[in-house]
């Protein structure tokens, strides 16, 4: 509604109680500007406020809405669908969809089998445990997960993290205790993930910023690639540390007597082959399958080559043995008491959170590409269930793999059935052909890992971080250097610490801005962003761009007074002195007791300087608290306005607010 309308027209449209006019308003020509009152929301009880906060925090998606007004049997059916989404999308499943899922499943299986054998070495486990993981976990996820594209299994970053944390507790990774601790950590990783889903605490994952994840993943990729130099160069004695200094020191110490030239030839040849196929697939998206099957081709060709030449007799390290058959039960192997229970919980929580963060990021990426919604809490419950079940069936921590998910997407998957197909192929591999991997050279597995993790180094994202937000770039670099120079877990801690530091900095030091009027309008904007915006004689207008809490209330008060001092110094030469200080409060979503006290102190300070405090556009929550604290009475109802233009129209020089 226009500000320049007659009393009768405004009364008809808005009602007399929404209008404030009188001696403080000025006439401009034959029109009288009307100042709209700031409405106070209906007062809420303590219970209503707590209920609203809980609902918005834990149930913003209204998960129980669908059950309202339904019969008992229908509620049971909807509950079953909610827990197992396969019963919802499975009703419309057909042969056409299965064709796409079947091809996708075969394609990602050809990629996952050689990757699994390689990733097991990162976790310091025998290859069959990674294959078990790619058999059991995808089956569970297919029934409970909400993503259509994510491919489940062991991944490089989580495998390395798990291996590093476990060896800190038990250095002898060949011991049975190490294996038991791995199952224990997997169990508690699943418990952590499921607890987050059941308690609807998924928002906690969002505290790990994108910048920190980019840096952590890049650092982990470099660390993983460096760790592969042992198998790539044929080094027998190698450091157990993961930092770049220790690894390079170990590599060059073995340069004169520890490198095996046959191993290097195999590693270089197949790494070149894998990188070339990745380049071809990147240039031509239709040839994605070339990169997808290249790891399996590498394993088959290299295994056959080593077998016929008996290169293993010349120092080429081979896999030697992959246990045949399906998963044995490991329920009795988990530590539920004793000295390893604490370490198992600690390692499980850390690896579970990292695995969940990676899976949710991957799931959201592909959901956005296909324009469907991804239920974060269902994802957590699905991930938790599959890792709990996996820990009972000789699996270690599984999550979504970006490389396999990308191949799954490119191959034309339509549902999670592609994971079921992949799982069946892995099962057949375990039952029939695992002995054939005996002569697979470790150099090829190292090449497969190096080629896979290079995609985790996202240079474009790092450059974008530098352009957009230097603090984000600092968080990224902190996580990156923490991983490669210290350890994976320290890099992760640095990533989390910097993410929290950014939040604290933004909360404790919010932005404020001086506003001016854009020429020819009644719009007021930041004078730094709009240099042509003009300030009003006698009035200083400041916008606060944050909620006002105990952590920043004193800073905001002091910052406003500093703005006032700066403006008074600038206006001393010629312009009229400042008589009114207007605080534009539209971005202020909330204010607490400390914020109220800060404004009371600000009001008293301004009174001593004979400057009036004016508030513009406080929100409903803020307005309610202004009335409850009697601050509105202290400032004066006639000094609280709907817009800055209304305040200027009332107290500014004649003609300033009306253009």
Same domain, 421 and 535: no
Would you place residue 362 in the very low, low, confident or very high pLDDT band (cuts 50, 70, 90)?
A: confident
Cβ atoms of residues 430 and 128 within 8 Å: yes
- Average pLDDT over the chain reads 85
Q: Identify whether 17 is part of a domain.
A: no
Claim to verify: residue 485 and residue 514 sit in the same structural domain = no
Asked whether residue 491 falls in the same domain as residue 513, the answer is no
Which DSSP letter does residue 40 get? P
State the total domains in the chain. 2
Q: Which CATH number goes with the domain that contains 619?
A: 3.30.750.24
Tokens of 129: 């445990």
State the angle between helix axes of 402-410 and 95-122 in degrees (0 to 180), rounded to the nearest 10: 160
User: 538 and 424, same structural domain?
Assistant: no
488 plus 541 within the same structural domain: no
pLDDT at res. 351: 93
Assigned domain for 72 exists: no
Model confidence over 71-110: pLDDT tens digits?
778 778 887 888 888 988 888 889 888 998 999 999 999 8
* pTM beyond cutoff 0.85: no
Are 398 and 390 within 8 A, CB to CB? yes
Q: Are residues 249 and 201 in the same domain?
A: yes
Asked whether 351 and 192 are in contact (CB, 8 A), the reply is no
**Of 500, 532, 550, which closes a domain?**
500
109 within a domain of the structure (yes/no): yes
Residue range(s) defining the domain that contains residue 230: 94-500
517 and 437 within one domain: no
Based on the fold, state whether residues 141 and 167 are members of the same structural domain: yes
In a domain? residue 74: no
**Chain segment 451-503, per-residue pLDDT in tens:** 988 888 889 999 999 999 888 898 899 989 998 998 888 887 888 888 888 88
pLDDT grade, residue 123 (50/70/90)?
very high
Question: What percentage of residues in the chain have a pLDDT greater than 70?
Answer: 88
In a shared domain, residues 236 and 102: yes
* Joined tokens for residue 231: 């198998």
Q: Tell me the pLDDT tens digit for each residue of 592-637.
A: 999 999 999 999 999 999 999 999 999 888 998 998 899 999 998 8
Is 44 a domain residue?
A: no
571 and 448 inside one domain: no
Last residue of a domain, one of 469, 500, 531: 500
Encoding tokens for residue 178?
A: 């190490």
CA distance 521 to 657: 8
In a domain, 1, yes or no: no
Q: Let me know whether 487 and 572 are in one domain.
A: no
Q: Which of 470, 500, 530 is the last residue of a domain?
A: 500
- Residue 640, in any domain of the structure: yes
Are 491 and 516 members of one domain? no
User: What pLDDT does residue 543 have?
Assistant: 95
Greater model confidence, 535 or 203: 535
373, part of any domain = yes
């Amino acid at each position: 509604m226009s500000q320049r309308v007659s009393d009768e027209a405004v009364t008809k449209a808005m009602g007399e109680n929404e209008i404030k006019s009188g001696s403080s308003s000025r006439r401009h020509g034959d029109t009288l500007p009307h100042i709209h009152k700031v409405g106070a929301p209906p007062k809420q009880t303590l219970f209503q406020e707590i209920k609203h906060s809980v609902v918005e925090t834990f149930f913003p998606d209204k998960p129980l809405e669908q059950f309202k007004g339904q019969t008992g049997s229908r509620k049971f059916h909807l509950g079953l669908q909610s827990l197992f989404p396969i019963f919802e999308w499975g009703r419309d499943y057909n042969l056409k969809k299965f064709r796409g899922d079947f091809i996708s499943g075969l394609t990602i299986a050809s990629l996952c089998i050689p990757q699994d054998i390689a990733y097991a070495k990162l976790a310091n486990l025998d290859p069959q445990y990674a294959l078990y993981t790619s058999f059991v976990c995808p089956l569970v996820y297919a029934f409970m997960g909400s993503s259509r594209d994510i491919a489940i299994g062991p991944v490089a970053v989580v495998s390395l993290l798990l291996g590093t944390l476990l060896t800190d507790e038990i250095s002898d990774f060949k011991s049975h205790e190490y294996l038991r601790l791995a199952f224990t950590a997997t169990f508690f990783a699943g418990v952590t993930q499921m607890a987050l889903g059941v308690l609807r605490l998924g928002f906690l994952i969002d505290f790990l910023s994108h910048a920190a994840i980019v840096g952590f993943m890049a650092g982990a990729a470099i660390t993983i690639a460096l760790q592969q130099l042992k198998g790539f160069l044929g080094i027998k004695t190698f450091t157990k540390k993961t930092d770049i200094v220790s690894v390079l020191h170990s590599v060059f110490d073995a340069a004169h007597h520890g490198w095996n030239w046959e191993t290097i030839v195999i590693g270089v040849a197949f790494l070149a082959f894998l990188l070339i196929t990745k380049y071809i697939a990147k240039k031509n998206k239709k040839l994605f399958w070339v990169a997808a099957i290249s790891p399996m081709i590498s394993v088959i060709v290299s295994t056959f080559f080593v077998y016929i030449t008996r290169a293993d007799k010349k120092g080429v390290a081979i896999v030697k043995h992959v246990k045949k058959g399906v998963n044995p039960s490991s329920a009795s192997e988990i530590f539920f008491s004793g000295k390893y229970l604490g370490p198992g919980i600690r390692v499980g929580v850390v690896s579970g959170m990292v695995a969940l963060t990676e899976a949710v990021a991957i799931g959201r990426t592909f959901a956005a590409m296909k324009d469907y919604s991804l239920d974060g809490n269902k994802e957590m419950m699905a991930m938790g269930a599959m890792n709990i079940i996996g820990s009972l069936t000789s699996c270690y921590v599984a999550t979504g793999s970006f490389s396999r998910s990308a191949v799954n997407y490119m191959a034309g998957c339509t549902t999670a059935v592609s994971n079921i197909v992949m799982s069946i192929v892995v099962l057949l591999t375990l039952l029939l052909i695992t002995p054939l991997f005996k002569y697979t050279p470790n150099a090829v597995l190292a090449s497969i890992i190096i080629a896979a993790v290079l995609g985790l180094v996202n240079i474009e994202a790092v450059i974008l971080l530098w352009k957009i937000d230097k603090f984000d770039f600092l968080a990224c670099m902190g996580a990156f250097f923490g991983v490669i120079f210290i350890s994976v877990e320290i890099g992760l801690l640095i990533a989390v610490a910097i993410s929290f530091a950014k939040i604290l900095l933004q909360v404790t030091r919010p932005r404020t801005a001086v506003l001016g009027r854009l020429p020819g309008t009644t719009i007021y904007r930041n004078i730094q962003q709009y240099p042509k915006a003009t300030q009003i004689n006698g009035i200083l207008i400041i916008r606060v761009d944050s909620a006002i809490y105990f952590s920043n209330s004193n800073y905001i008060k002091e910052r406003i007074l500093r703005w006032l001092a700066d403006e008074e110094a600038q206006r001393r030469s010629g312009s009229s002195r400042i008589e009114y200080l207007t605080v534009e409060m539209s971005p202020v979503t909330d204010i607490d007791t400390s914020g109220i006290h800060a404004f009371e102190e600000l009001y008293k300070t301004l009174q001593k300087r004979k400057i009036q405090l004016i508030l513009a556009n406080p929100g409903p929550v803020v307005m309610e608290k202004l009335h409850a604290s009697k601050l509105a009475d202290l400032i004066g109802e006639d000094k609280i306005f709907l817009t800055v233009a209304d305040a200027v129209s009332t107290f500014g020089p004649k003609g300033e607010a009306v253009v």
